[in-house]
Amino acid sequence: MAILFHETSKEFHLYNDKISYIIKILDNGHLGQLYFGSRIQDRKDFDHLLETCYRPMTSYQSEGYAFSLEHIKQEYPVYGTSDYKLPAMEILQPDGSRITNFTYLSHRIYSGKPSLQGLPATYTESDEEADTLEVTLKDELLGIKLVLLYTIFSQEGAIARSARFENPTDDTFDLTRAMSASLDLPDCSYDWIQFSGAWSRERQVKIRRLEQGIQAVSSTRGHSSHTHNPFIVLKRPTADEFQGEVLGFSLIYSGNFLAQAEVDTYNVTRIMLGINPFGFTWNLKPGEKFQTPEAVMVYSDQGLNGMSQTFHRLYRSRLARGQWRDKVRPVLLNNWEATYFDFDEDRLVEIARAAKEDGVELFVLDDGWFGERNDDHAGLGDWYANTERLPNGIKGLSEKIEALGLKFGLWVELEMVNMDSDLYRAHPEWILQTPGRKSCHGRHQYVLDFSRPEVVDCIYDMVAKILSESKVSYIKWDMNRSITECYSLALAPAQQGEVFHRYILGLYSLYERFIKNFPHILFESCASGGARFDAGMLYYAPQCWTSDDSDAAERIKIQYGTSFGYPIVSMGAHVSAVPNHQLFRNTPLATRGNVAYFGAFGYELDLQKLTDEERKMVREQIRFMKQYRSVLQFGTFYRLLSPFESNIAAWMAVSDDQKTAVIGYYKTLNDVNCEYRRLHLKGLNPNLSYLVDKTGKIHMGDELMSVGLITTDASAGQPCSGQPEEGFEICTDFWSKIYVLTAE
């Protein structure tokens, strides 16, 4: 058992070979935080870590100056009883008070990990994989119970946390703040890293020092958003990709969130993660429970890569589920940028036939196949085939695609509706809308009220009919606008603060029904690209469309930032046409492939419009991907050079047996007469010799890691002047190279 309870000192010690997490029941019955970090030896009493002293202008709970929550590090703090920092929870009571006092009642320690009803969460497949601590606290005046859940994984430096509120009373309370995790750290000597951006430039790496005050990222858009990701990192200033202390915090949730660091004037840092309290109220009725989403905290003393690899392993194998969890992903071709809305069945079959000739395994039909969907003004919500375009329906088209030897996939956007649709005309009350107020549109579409079970049922029935009749192996589930006028006509006024969260619960329930009834389907989540690339979605869809921006140069940054918290296999990464449809930039086909290899690989173009030489290169790209995709998608991933810090970026993936490694090396803009260059590799076996495919030379693993792989290219001279010297290639802007290392 990896969780100890010391009765005398009233301390819990959660530990494995990598980490220790120590909690104490304080004198007032609250839970105090004593330590989170690298594994330390257990002792019966860690009381010396609880520091108290008299400080002026401080409020104290007891006579004398010994106990103030303002200066004690806590596990799940509340505001108003001597702690003045922002709290983890708040309850509005019938008498108008918000003061609470949750004190220790009992605890339970057991093997394994519980599921969270209606919510995504990490899981175990055997009780030996994790141990769980449940601490129950109670507010004696209110009668409400609070259960704090902690799961420590036996093989990972990770702890999963959540909270559950239970109301066994006859009264109704308004829960106005319910964070998933709070952690008080004894100092603020950290760099804060967030992953921010916008449409087509998601998850850009932003770094700054923690300072006194509050800094945070959040979403109030109804989804996790392009703007900020529900994932933050704290690293020591001396830590880098390969060494030093790093803390990662990830929220397994797809709706409005808050990730916050509050540093007080004594440099104590409080980290909080959970549902954004802005606009949130949960009407906790008699006999009801409220479960927060799960937060995962990771500690690494092996730098940023060590932290990322922990998240990769955990989320790839104990968050993602189903038949596709451990399978390499099929090479696909999506017709969107090839045709947009201009297609019919014959043209689709023609595009698919060409794709099959080049080695593609899955053909995906994107937007425009349903209802009266001739542009983005109409048709959303009418999930039946447009027989003018597809006279044989999805059933007939899917059978033709499968007859070619390809699997068939389908795009959907199930959460939205156009006013010009049969569904809206029948049920105008089914959209989120505020009475008496104008409703905003986004892309001429409106958000269906997924807090209403009858709406979810209707959408499920329409799509399930298609899936039952047709040969569909893949679904791309899109979501192309944020929520406005967040009001449900089906809920009472006192429950309107629940709508954002109930919407997400409805979304999760719909996903769960599809997964249960169509387990063979590979789901890829999408939200105008990466607006809902979060850990919550990975529980239902093991991969996500990383960004609508498929330009190779921009994708290096987007995929690099995404890799901090999410597995490589989860990133949809495609080769698209040039000029690029988002930037109108021309990048070499080779570089487009070299970037897209590191993810769920595919194409967004009409292969028939390529030259013979380009088609030949596509065939070689697909052959290469099929040969190495198990390493690229499931190997250990290392970030080597950051595109946010240099003109050159690099990363690599290493097989579990360390006998194969694939390195991606990218130069954004060409340079001239530059320095000699070496790339220090990681993750190799120092005692194995490796053949480098590009040079034909053999090097020991320790040499490649300590001395480096020579990556000097033609730009060390004058790259575009006549014939390059023997052994060098001509370089251009957006130049790249893939190195494959094979152990001899």
Indicate whether 598 and 711 sit together in one domain. Answer: no
Whose CA is closest to 529, among 511, 501, 550, 553?
550
Q: How far apart, in whole angstroms, are the C-alpha atoms of residue 712 and residue 714?
A: 7
Distances (CA, A) of 173 to 90, 94, 136: 10, 7, 19
Q: Answer yes or no: is 525 within a domain.
A: yes
- What pLDDT is attached to residue 723? 54
Q: How far apart, in whole angstroms, are the C-alpha atoms of residue 171 and residue 97?
A: 14
Indicate whether 537 and 613 sit together in one domain. Answer: yes
Lookup result for tokens 């202008």: 57
Last residue of a domain, one of 258, 292, 318: 318
Q: What is the CATH number of the domain that holds 739?
A: 2.60.40.1180
How many whole angstroms from its chain centre is CA 634? 17
Give the pLDDT confidence of 613-660 residue by residue, as tens digits. Answer: 999 999 999 999 999 999 999 999 999 999 999 999 999 999 999 999
How many whole angstroms from its chain centre is CA 606? 30
What is the DSSP secondary-structure string of 360-374?
A: --EEEE-SS-BTT-S
Q: Answer yes or no: is 30 within a domain.
A: no
Q: Answer yes or no: is 130 within a domain.
A: yes
Is residue 3 within 8 A of residue 13, CB to CB? The reply is: yes
Is residue 180 within 8 A of residue 294, CB to CB? The reply is: yes
Please report, in angstroms and rounded to a whole number, the separation of the first and last CA atoms in the chain: 42
Q: How far apart, in whole angstroms, are the C-alpha atoms of residue 659 and residue 337?
A: 38
**Tokens found for residue 308:** 């990322």
Indicate whether 605 and 697 sit together in one domain. Answer: no
Q: Answer yes or no: is 136 within a domain.
A: yes
Element (H, E) at 183: strand 173-185
Q: Which residues are catalytic?
A: 478, 548
Indicate whether 385 and 496 sit together in one domain. Answer: yes
Indicate whether 201 and 241 sit together in one domain. Answer: yes
Q: How far apart, in whole angstroms, are the C-alpha atoms of residue 353 and residue 293?
A: 45
**653-660 LR contacts (CB < 8 Å, sep 24+):** 653/568, 653/598, 654/682, 654/683, 654/684, 655/630, 655/631, 658/683, 658/684, 658/685, 658/688, 658/701, 658/743, 659/685, 659/688, 659/742, 659/743, 660/628, 660/631, 660/635, 660/740, 660/741, 660/742, 660/743
Q: What is the DSSP letter of 696?
A: T
Is residue 637 within 8 A of residue 650, CB to CB? The reply is: no
What is the DSSP secondary-structure string of 292-329?
A: PPEEEEEEESBHHHHHHHHHHHHHHHHTS-STTTTSPP
Element (H, E) at 273: strand 269-275
Return the number of other C-beta atoms located less than 10 Å from residue 114's C-beta: 15
Indicate whether 112 and 214 sit together in one domain. Answer: yes
Lookup result for tokens 């089914």: 430
Q: What is the CATH number of the domain that holds 128?
A: 2.70.98.60
Q: Answer yes or no: is 19 within a domain.
A: no
Last residue of a domain, one of 283, 318, 353: 318
Indicate whether 246 and 168 sit together in one domain. Answer: yes
Q: What is the CATH number of the domain that holds 368?
A: 3.20.20.70
Q: 530: burial class by Cβ within 10 Å (0-12, 13-18, 19+)?
A: buried
Q: Answer yes or no: is 583 within a domain.
A: yes
- The 3-state DSSP class for residue 411 equals strand
Indicate whether 407 and 496 sit together in one domain. Answer: yes
Q: What is the DSSP letter of 539?
A: T
Q: How far apart, in whole angstroms, are the C-alpha atoms of residue 665 and residue 641?
A: 9
In whole angstroms, how large is the CA radius of gyration of the chain?
27
Indicate whether 341 and 249 sit together in one domain. Answer: no
Q: What is the DSSP letter of 385?
A: B
- The 3-state DSSP class for residue 208 equals strand
E strand intervals along 632-672:
636-641, 648-654, 660-667
Q: How far apart, in whole angstroms, are the C-alpha atoms of residue 740 and residue 678?
A: 16
Which stretches in the chain have pLDDT values below 50? Answer: 722
Q: What is the pTM of this model?
A: 0.97
Q: Answer yes or no: is 29 within a domain.
A: no
Preceding omega of 168 cis (within 30 degrees of 0): no
How many domains is the chain built from?
3
Q: What is the DSSP letter of 654?
A: E
Last residue of a domain, one of 290, 318, 346: 318
Q: Answer yes or no: is 580 within a domain.
A: yes
Indicate whether 737 and 688 sit together in one domain. Answer: yes
Q: Strands across the sheet with 735-743, in order?
A: 636-641, 648-654, 660-667, 735-743, 689-692, 697-700
**Tokens found for residue 608:** 């028939």
**Buried b or exposed e, range 547-567, using 16+ CB within 10 angstroms:** bbbbbbbbbbbbbbbbbbbbb
Indicate whether 625 and 658 sit together in one domain. Answer: no
Q: Which domain holds residue 522?
A: 332-631
Indicate whether 292 and 376 sit together in one domain. Answer: no
Is residue 510 within 8 A of residue 541, CB to CB? The reply is: no
Q: 633: burial class by Cβ within 10 Å (0-12, 13-18, 19+)?
A: buried
- The 3-state DSSP class for residue 1 equals coil
